[in-house]
Amino acid sequence: MRANRFSSRLSNALSIFEVSTLIIDGVPVDAFGCTDVGRVRNVNQDQFLIASLHRSVEIQSTSIPVQEGQRFAPGARALLLLVADGVGGGAGGEEASTWTLDTIVRYVAGSSQFFRQLGPEVEERFLNDLTLAVQWSHAALKERTIETPELAGMATTLTMALVKWPRAFVIQVGDSRCYRLRAGELSQVTTDQTMARQLIEQGALPEEAAERSPLSHVLSQSIGHQEPEVWPVITEVELQSGDTLLLCTDGLMKHVSGPEIAELLGSTSSAREVASSLVGAALAGGGSDNVTVVATRFGHPSPEQAPA
């Protein structure tokens, strides 16, 4: 099976974090995250986190050093998925991605908006709080840099999905990505925030020249960098049973094409096998960067799971 093609090629640096199935509004969710330093870099500056929201935030799986919560329990109100790709020399990039995920989770845990059922009267405040969570993290990281001058220049991307079934709110800063697979068709939810993409949208750079441009790796926005403020792009995605969401850092896209991502995501394997195979494909293709993926599959509710 194609999903197992790269399984034996995973490097010894692979960090695997597995969770059991979450039930959200009667829909079973299979989520899995893994991260690898790659074959060239010495330090892994990527991080990821999977958390369920009940009456509090329960961290189910993460690469950052926090105490993990218990396994997914039925009745979760939402699902939080994050990946971050740190930028900065020495320990700076790793510190930036770790600090950002930690501050995002602490903000979410302290805001009642993320635990409420969405309705017209609360949705505007909810979307505002999503923006504030990212801006608060940006400010906290810049303050961290002032307190620790040796970390000057550190920054990070952030791609986050907050799932309130049947909707996902995808928050984007930088060039990590979110994809949705539905009925074999892969669609990119996010748009890379790079100088090359900015020039393409302005009509100053042809689309076909983007990948060859050195500006394709220059971020137009990141958390913790010089900008006084950061403005995340929020995209609402409708979900259906059978869909798969993928969050990933650019270490995947450098070596794995869109059609291959779609093929692996569309396999009948578990989220664990799919995520591990994607990381393995990136390593087999050269592993020139850290690579991190979070795969989340939304199943079909059984009669006893379906909401009354």
pLDDT digits (tens, 9 = 90+) for 192-247: 998 887 887 787 777 777 677 777 778 999 999 888 899 999 999 999 999 999 99
* Distance from chain centroid for Cα 154: 19
**Amino acid identity, residue 308?**
A
What pLDDT is recorded for position 7? 29
Query: In this structure, are residues 191 and 201 in contact, taking their beta carbons and an 8 Å threshold?
Result: no
Q: How far apart are CA 213 and CA 96, in angstroms?
A: 26
Domains of the chain plus CATH, in order, are 2-186+221-298 (3.60.40.10)
What value does the CA radius of gyration of the chain take, rounded to a whole number of Å? 18
Q: How far apart are CA 96 and CA 156, in angstroms?
A: 6
What pLDDT is recorded for position 194? 86
Contacts for 212 with CB less than 8 Å, ≥ 6 apart: none
What pLDDT is recorded for position 13? 44
**Amino acid identity, residue 202?**
Q
- pLDDT at 43 exceeding the cut of 80: yes
Query: In this structure, are residues 288 and 36 in contact, taking their beta carbons and an 8 Å threshold?
Result: no
Query: In this structure, are residues 65 and 304 in contact, taking their beta carbons and an 8 Å threshold?
Result: no
Query: H or E stretch including 161?
Result: strand 158-164
pLDDT bin (cut points 50, 70, 90) of residue 10 is very low
| Weakest-pLDDT range from 5-14, 107-116, 276-285 | 5-14
Contacts for 67 with CB less than 8 Å, ≥ 6 apart: 59
State the average pLDDT for the chain: 84
Average pLDDT over residues 143-164: 92
* Distance from chain centroid for Cα 99: 15
pLDDT bin (cut points 50, 70, 90) of residue 11 is very low
CA torsion 107-22-191-261 (nearest 10°) is 150
- pLDDT at 289 exceeding the cut of 90: yes
What pLDDT is recorded for position 114? 79
What pLDDT is recorded for position 306? 53
Nearest to 164 by CA among 215, 238, 229: 238
Contacts for 6 with CB less than 8 Å, ≥ 6 apart: 276, 277, 279, 280, 281, 283, 284
Nearest to 292 by CA among 36, 13, 3: 36
What pLDDT is recorded for position 78? 86
Task: Look up residue 239 and give its two tokens.
Answer: 């979900």
Q: How far apart are CA 214 and CA 10, in angstroms?
A: 29
**Amino acid identity, residue 183?**
A
Concatenated DSSP letters of 128-195: HHHHHHHHHHHHHHHHHHHH-GGGTT-EE-EEEEEEETTEEEEEEESS-EEEEEETTEEEE-S---BH
Q: Pick 196 or 287 by higher pLDDT.
A: 287
CA distances from 140 to 44, 96, 152 (A): 22, 10, 13
Nearest to 115 by CA among 83, 144, 145, 75: 75
Q: Tell the residue number behind the tokens 């050093």, with chain if given.
A: 65
Average pLDDT over residues 100-114: 88
pLDDT bin (cut points 50, 70, 90) of residue 1 is very low
Quote the pTM value: 0.87
